[in-house]
Amino acid sequence: MSINQTFEEAKKRVSDLRDLLDKYGYHYYVQDKSVISDADYDRLYKELVELEEQFPNLVSNDSPTQRVGGTISSGFEKVVHDIPMLSLGNAFDENDLIEFDNRIKKLTDKPFSYICELKIDGLAIALKYKAGKLVLAATRGNGTIGENVTQNIRTVKSVPLRLKKPYTIEVRGECYMPKSSFVVLNEEREENGEAVFANPRNAAAGGLRNLDAKETAKRNLSTFFYTVADFGEMTANSQEDALKELDELGIRTNHERKVCETIEEVWAYIQSFLDKRTQLPYEIDGIVIKVNEFEAQGEIGYTVKAPRWAIAYKFKAEEGTTVIRDIEWTI
């Protein structure tokens, strides 16, 4: 066969393999569903690696084989957030929520509902996609200036290197370490005589802000996204719809979310998580309550520091237990 014919065949096969691996990766890392055995996945992955080695100019940086870069960064570039990454006001009891509800009712006469989301205890990140390709990932930093952690985020399997549609958007979310990975990591560090991490959030921060992306890749980090900073081609008019659109684009969102018509319903939802919280495979430190409709959000607006249309109900410090070796510590 002529080299061209082989090249054309290889190009087609590389494209098919990428689509397959992206699809299986999406089910496994974004939807937590495995639709193919690990052995079959590895076989397809190996075939793609071999074809890309044989035809180097078929390699593109959105290939699943290109997640872990080889170079070690000397430092993190600074990134200016075009839209500041703000923080949330806090509520600590039912009365704080009722006051929040009263404030909202004074600030808009449009009909509105609330949406409740779990408050993931991780590291806030912003991702930029250009025509569906991941082009930049940055930490929150001080809200205006963050760090460029693109090479590190690319190693996080739940982050799509390309979206299901060629959208140009910016999304924000939380990068976190699952509880199970946290326990294993601390056991390893304990055995190696290294300092253990106090909580999964610190372990995620240490993993993400590591100058060697190969280290990040070992930390088994994951993500949940919850905010769209630049909507690009997205058409959602509410937080609920925006989260659905993100799901359709292949971006991982947390499905423990509920639209509530009244603050009483919000309170009931919060109560329901007081127990469920310890069963979750990731740490949460509260529930975020947001006005669901974007038109009402626009009318309610922002303070300098935070959106007026959202509040974080904070749980009391978790009476969790972290097993370090065979000793149980209650923290």
Ligand X SMILES: NC(=O)c1cc2c(=O)c3cc(F)ccc3oc2nc1N
- The site for ligand X, by CB under 6 A, has a size of 12
Q: Does 171 help bind ligand X (rule: CB under 6 A)?
A: no
Q: Is 119 among the residues known to form the active site?
A: yes
d(CA 86, CA 304): 9
Within 269-288, the residues that bind ligand X by CB under 6 A are 288
Residue 316: is it exposed, middle or buried by C-beta count within 10 angstroms (0-12/13-18/19+)? exposed
The catalytic position among 12, 46, 110, 119 is: 119
Segment contacting ligand X by CB under 6 A, of 36-44, 112-120, 162-170, 275-283? 112-120
Q: Does 293 help bind ligand X (rule: CB under 6 A)?
A: no
Segment contacting ligand X by CB under 6 A, of 44-52, 114-122, 240-248, 264-272? 114-122
Pick 132 or 173: Cβ nearer ligand X? 173
Residue environment code for 275-304, b if the CB has 16+ CB neighbours within 10 A, otherwise e? eebeeeebbbbbbbbbbbbbebbebbeeee
Q: Does 52 help bind ligand X (rule: CB under 6 A)?
A: no
Q: Does 120 help bind ligand X (rule: CB under 6 A)?
A: yes
Q: Does 88 help bind ligand X (rule: CB under 6 A)?
A: yes
d(CA 104, CA 96): 12
Evaluate whether 224 touches 246 at the Cβ level (below 8 Å): no
Pick 124 or 234: Cβ nearer ligand X? 124
d(CA 299, CA 297): 5
Evaluate whether 91 touches 144 at the Cβ level (below 8 Å): no
Range 185-193, long-range pairs (CB < 8 A, 24+ positions) = 185/219, 186/322, 186/324, 187/324, 187/325, 190/324, 190/325
Q: Does 200 help bind ligand X (rule: CB under 6 A)?
A: no
Q: Does 167 help bind ligand X (rule: CB under 6 A)?
A: no
* Binder of ligand X out of 58, 161, 169, 310 (CB under 6 A): 310
Pick 121 or 147: Cβ nearer ligand X? 121
* Binder of ligand X out of 307, 308, 311, 313 (CB under 6 A): 307
Q: Does 101 help bind ligand X (rule: CB under 6 A)?
A: no
CA-based torsion, 46, 51, 57, 63: positive or negative: negative
Active site residues: 119
User: Where on the chain is the footprint of ligand X (CB under 6 A)?
Assistant: 86, 88, 117, 119-120, 124, 174, 226-227, 288, 307, 310
